[in-house]
Amino acid sequence: MKQVTIYTDGACSGNPGPGGWAAILRYGETEKELSGGEAHTTNNRMELTAVLRGLGALKEPCEVTLFSDSTYVVSAIEKGWLENWQKKNWRTKSGPVKNPELWQELLPLLSRHSVRFVWVKGHAENEYNNRCDALAVRERLKFE
């Protein structure tokens, strides 16, 4: 199975407001940048969209290490929140899960690939996270 590294980030102004997302896929020496945006969205939606688009770009099942500065995304996977949300019919103790359609879109991608999520500090020394941030902000600015 191919080993791929994906870096993702989302950006939003106003939250909700205009937003952008970006993903950088790395396989060996090959890199691919993906990015996009929406006129009215939230930061969490953009973070999750970046993950979806990054994993969705893989043409075959892969072993993926995915780096994100979103505690929302990383915790949902690594702490088992996503699994619990499914079991509880997309509800939390305080009400409906936010962005259920995006989480549901993620499930088949997580089944197809072996994915390990790693949290990285945003706006720090990780060059790929910083590149993702710049790409996401560029996309966000198209809607401002």
State pLDDT tens for residues 3-25: 999 999 999 999 899 999 999 99
Known catalytic residue at 36: no
Q: Tell how many helices (H) and how many strands (E) occur in the chain.
A: 5, 7
Judge whether 102 and 8 are in contact, CB under 8 Å: no
Task: Spell out the per-residue pLDDT of the chain, length 144, in tens.
Answer: 999 999 999 999 998 999 999 999 999 999 999 999 999 999 999 999 999 999 999 999 999 999 999 999 999 999 999 999 999 999 998 999 999 999 999 999 999 999 999 999 887 888 999 999 999 999 999 998
Known catalytic residue at 33: no
Q: How far is C-alpha 50 from the geometric centre of its chain's CA atoms?
A: 4
Q: Which residues pair with 12 in a beta bridge?
A: 19
pTM of the predicted structure, to 2 decimals = 0.96
Q: How many domains are there within the chain?
A: 1
Catalytic residue among 54, 69, 113, 139: 69
Catalytic residue among 47, 54, 113, 139: 47
The parent domain of residue 100 ranges over 2-141
pLDDT, position 123: 79
pLDDT, position 139: 98
User: Distance between CA 66 and CA 7 in Å, rounded?
Assistant: 6
Q: What is the DSSP letter of 60?
A: S
Catalytic residue among 9, 19, 20, 113: 9
Catalytic residue among 10, 19, 20, 54: 10
Known catalytic residue at 133: yes
Known catalytic residue at 80: no
Kindly report the CATH number assigned to the domain that includes residue 53.
3.30.420.10
Collect all residues with Cβ–Cβ distance below 8 Å to 113 and sequence separation of at least 6: 55, 58, 61, 62, 63, 64
Collect all residues with Cβ–Cβ distance below 8 Å to 2 and sequence separation of at least 6: 27, 60, 62, 63
Q: How far is C-alpha 41 from the geometric centre of its chain's CA atoms?
A: 14
Known catalytic residue at 69: yes
Known catalytic residue at 123: yes
